Structure 1
Amino acid sequence: MLKRSATGTWLPAWVPESTVNVSILLLFCSMVQSATNGYDGSMMNGLNILPSYTNYFNLNAATTGLNTASIFIGGFWGPIFSGIMSDRLGRRPTLFWGAVITLIGILLQTAAQNIAMFVVARIVLGFGSAVSGIAGAVYLSETFSSRWRAWGVGLLNDFYYVGALLAAGITLGTGTWNTTWAWRAPSLFQGIFSILCIIILPFIPESPRWLVHEGYLDEARLAVAQTNANGDLSDPVVLVVYKEIIDTLKWEKEEGRTMSPKEIVKSPGARKRFLIGMSPGPFSCIAGNIIASYYLGAELDTAGITSNIQQLKANVVLNVWCLGCCLAGTHLVAKWGRRPTAILSQVLLIACLFIIGGLSKVYADNPTGASNAIVYGDVAVMFLFQGFYSIAWTPLLTLYPPEVMNYSIRANGYAATSFSLNALALLFVFIMPIGLTNIGWKMYMVNASWDIVILGLIWYYWVETKGKSVEEIDALFDGEKHSLVPDVELVRRGEVQIDDKALEVHIIGEVTTMKG
């Protein structure tokens, strides 16, 4: 059963009564960015292996890096606009326009006739996916109930491997074709996620935080009810969540907090939130996974596996493995916590990089005399590395930043996170093939060394956000929660009882004042 819901924007909504159904639709709509990017990384892995692609564009090391990394040029510019768009247009309309721009880029990429056209297409694609990705992460963090937020927002990025797995299978299937459709067909299929997003958008509510901030108070309460209590406006959890939202946003306005991008550096508290919240972007980017995410073929070459078909099969197996690991990691993030999971993952990554570097050196010193044990051991640790990366960084990349940042800096702060990620990715994706060509196994040792620094920063600076609503996280940075109602999860579990009627009267009075 669908119910027409006002959204405060030009994009209407007919929302299911069931909270479970709403949550499923939220997840599938917002998966567009991670699935598109996951598909892209795996697809480019496959295309960089295919002679029909490399010969068509007559690629060398530099142009291979340019073709592959150009998506991050668009991803570099997308965040400059996405935060402002999300705040002014609404979360859902920004998702819509991001998906449309992504589709345009995909069509241009499929029709590319030369390197210039291919690069421009990937810039457009990167811009669109950055816009929708930022809006999606912010939207999910603000709309999912706190009990499902870790899974809901974490799975947003876990779908990276759903897209990657589809791309790996498609490029494996088209790899034997002798026409340009061997690489054009995988490119065209990349648009399926953006189309899915556009189809689902009319059936999900707008972010209740955005609605309250824009003055759509009654619409916001309905959105809270739809995402927490099957549309029951008088449910105790709905009353507490709604009261937390209006109290916190009222406090931010009284404190003079604005939606300007300058707000992220305006005060010491905002700077602390921003620096901690943005850290997953650059940390995950330089952790070392870019080698296997975009240049698996070159990585397998260093281990002695040079057959195109064997490399494409390895690409499929790798994505199945990583999907399983990121799902397990999302469970750890939800049950164990964000910070402990990140520390565990980082320790395992450092160990793997040193082992890969050592095994690759043994093979490089004597390629003809290296035993099969060295070759397959190297590949096995490469796969372990990608799995260990997926445990923490895949869910945390979209989950942790919007949690840490408060409403006034959330969209622009997360946009800055994406900006830093794409800026570093643009650099690293471009230089990795050059580095692997020039210094080989030493790249792994260099990468492991800076991962040790990242581990220390996580250990010392990160805060734990497990089990808290985004308003309750304020207490970790401001020293207090800006609402007197009990914590949401305590009410949901029945550990704290509230006076429903008294709270309802208080809410009505506060809403009346805010409207006046």
Structure 2
Amino acid sequence: MSPLTRLPGSLASLKLNWTTALVVSVCVVDSVTIAYDGSLMGSLNVMETYHNYFQLTTTTTAINTCATFLGAILVGPFTGILIDRKGRKSGLWAAVAINILGAVLAGSAINVAMFIAARIVIGVGVGLGQTAASTYVAETTAPRIRSFALGLYFSCWAVGALLAAGVSYGCSTLEPSNASWRIPSYLQGAMPLLIVPLLYYIPESPRWLAFRDRREEALEIISKINGKPEDNEDVQLQFQEIVTSLNHEKAQSMSLKAIVRKPNRRRLLLALSIAPLAMLTGSNVITYYFGSMLTQAGIGNPTTQLQINVVLSSWQLVVAISGSSLAEKLGRRFLALFSLGTCSAFFYILAGLTARYGTAGDKAGTYGTVACIFLFLGAYAFGITPLTAMYAPEVLSYNMRANGIAMQGILIKSCGVLVTLAFPYMLESIGWKSYIINASWNILLWLYIWFQWVETKGLTLEEVDRIFDGEVLVGAPVESAEKGEVVVSEVKET
């Protein structure tokens, strides 16, 4: 095991140089872009003008909400291929352009069909951006800060949610003007615009460059992201590990058949398990249909609901960043088990409070229900939010990372479609019992994580590979640091 495995585990030990700060900035802005959409729909769904303009029913409301998931599912099979062939930055460029186009179409929609089409376009950009950004950040950050950077990616989801909630709340004062929903829709394109100048300065993934034998460029970037000269021992060791591992992977086929074969099958299953963890634990029910939940809890005023949504987003941001900063110290398994367990407990409590006080007009009961929603989202944000982007890139090898994350994205969006289409009807027909069903499902997922997840804290991506492959890749010393040449001596079974 290399010295790189002994990594600091606290936020205080993280030192971001200029290159790394740019990489993290891109992932943050991309996360804000994606999150803005979810919170936007939650806010629009409680605006009367939005409902009246499109003459929405329960069905069309659900389709409007899940349209971005459908777009992401459509593009999912191609995202991994694109960023593997053209580079991680190319994927980010394409996502930016598509998201801006979708925002313009949504803001100018003249009927429900155009609005749905615009949201499908946004979904294409979101799907492409998620695959490209998480792959890029995992491969272009120093080992000591990888977990924090990846955790920050989805932690900043709360920033986007807060912006959308704040903008929507402010624009709600314009009702009954259609500007109340058009302005927030147009502003969905503002975040992608911020990425454009950053993309000119960020480097390409050093692992993507090394895989294509552009080793001098790869070594230069590894030096920059570590903030050390190219001949530094740690830089040389990391570079040698990367090149040796990638040379080994080049000899392996990554066809669909190979991806589902041991040990890759286990990698893929672990990556895919993030989808139900992120989407089916109950958070999306609150995100998209918090208006219905609060109405059932006794808070029916749309303005009050929007105010609560703003505070919820702020709360999630603080807790998610805390969880991200502790990921390297606590470990991935602990974060997943703790968050999922407490989410389940709070969902059971939420069901009981809603059943008892939802229509009773009891102020204390209503406050208790709202507090339970806050506690649930806090528990979710602490562990599951950072893990959504953190765990899959770590357990997937380079050869299957882009396609594996794309497959994970398809499953995440499919789960999102299930939530957005099924829960409006569940909430209408069985109300608080929906929370009981959801919480009971969470127990099964908790058991899977307990028995199947592997711990990745403190390991480089190449060292994580060895957990699954049972191989130690041994490379000869770097012959020329300036030229970036590495000779692979042998591959040994452990």
Using the size of structure 1 for normalisation, the TM-score is 0.89
Corresponding residue for residue 41 of structure 1: 38
Alignment of 1:414-429 (within 5 A): 414-429=405-420
Residues 4-153 of structure 1 aligned to structure 2 (within 5 Å): 20-153=17-150
Structure 1: runs of 5 or more not aligned = 1-17, 486-501
Q: Indicate the larger mover: 440-449 or 184-193.
A: 184-193
- The structure 2 residue matched to 1:213, chosen from 174, 194, 211, is 211
Is structure 2 residue 368 aligned with structure 1 residue 377?
A: yes
Q: Does 1:477 align with 2:468?
A: yes
**SS of aligned partner of 2:473:** coil
Q: Which amino acid aligns with 1:264?
A: I
Matches within 5 A, 1:293-332: 293-332=287-326
Q: Report how far residue 93 of structure 1 moved.
A: 0.9
1:245 to partner: Cα distance: 0.5
In structure 1, the residue matched to 2:186 is 188
1:350 aligns with 2:347: no
Counterpart AA for 1:95: L
Distance 1:512 1:273 in 2: 28
State whether residues 244 and 486 of structure 2, in contact with CA within 8 Å, keep that contact through their aligned partners in structure 1. no
Find the partner of 1:252 among 233, 249, 252.
Answer: 249
Q: 1:200 aligns with which of 198, 210, 235?
A: 198
Contact (CA 8 Å) 1:229, 1:235: kept in 2 or not?
Answer: no
1:396 aligned to 371, 387, 391, which one? 387
Aligned equivalent of 2:227, options 215, 226, 229: 229
Contact 1:263/1:408 (8 A) holds in 2:
no
Q: 2: CA distance between counterparts of 1:358 and 1:285? A: 22
2:278 equivalent to 1:284: yes
CA deviation profile, 1:493-514 (whole Å, cap 9, x unmatched): xxxxxxxxx6445996954899
For residues 174-206 of structure 1, the C-alpha deviation after alignment (integer angstroms, 9 at most, x for no partner) is 101031110111111111221111220110111
Question: What is the percent sequence identity of the aligned residues?
Answer: 38
CA contact (8 A) 2:215 2:485 kept: no
Aligned to 1:203, the other structure's residue is in SS state coil
- Counting matched residue pairs gives 474
Task: Name the CA distance, whole Å, in 2 between partners of 1:373 and 1:154.
Answer: 36
- Stretches of structure 2 that go unaligned for 5 or more consecutive residues are 1-14, 490-494
1:442 is aligned to 2:437: no
- Determine if contact 1:142/1:207 at 8 Å carries over to the other structure: yes
In the other structure, the counterpart of 1:160 is 157
Amino acid of the residue matched to residue 150 of structure 1? Answer: S
1:79 and 1:469 mapped to 2: Cα distance?
A: 27
With 325-334 and 93-102 compared, the bigger mean Cα shift is at 325-334
Q: Is the 8 A contact 1:332 1:341 kept in 2?
A: no
**Displacement, 1:363?**
2.7
Q: Which string of whole-angstrom CA distances, capped at 9 and with x for unpartnered residues, describes residues 202-240 of structure 1?
A: 10111011001112111111111111125x211111101
- The answer on whether the counterparts of 1:47 and 1:183 sit within 8 Å (CA) in structure 2 is yes
**1:158: Cα distance to partner?**
1.1
Compared with structure 1, are the counterparts of its residues 477 and 104 closer, same or farther at alpha carbon in structure 2 (3 Å cutoff)? same
Aligned equivalent of 1:169: 166
Q: CA RMSD in A?
A: 1.8
Query: How far, CA to CA, are the matches of 1:236 and 1:316 in structure 2?
Result: 48
Structure 2 CA distance for partners of 1:248 and 1:282, relative to 1, 3 Å: same
SS at match of 2:42: helix
Secondary structure at the aligned position of 1:233 is classed as: coil
Quick one: distance in 1 between partners of 2:475 and 2:332? 26
1:27-80 per-residue CA deviation (whole Å, 9 max, x = no partner) reads 111234421221111111111111111111111111111111111100111221
For normalisation by structure 2, the TM-score amounts to: 0.93
Q: Contact 1:239–1:504 at 8 Å: present in 2 too?
A: no
Q: Which moved more, 1:448-457 or 1:33-42?
A: 33-42
CA distance in 1 between partners of 2:256 and 2:33 (Å): 27
The residue type paired with residue 407 of structure 1 is Y
Shift of 1:432: 1.2
Q: Which moved more, 1:313-322 or 1:331-340?
A: 331-340
Q: Distance in 2 between matches of 1:174 and 1:415?
A: 35
1:93 partner letter:
S
CA distance in 2, matches of 1:122, 1:114: 13
1:447-475 CA-to-partner distances (Å, cap 9, x unmatched) read 00000000000000000100111001112
Whether the aligned pair in 1 keeps the contact of 2:68 and 2:123 (CA below 8 Å) is yes
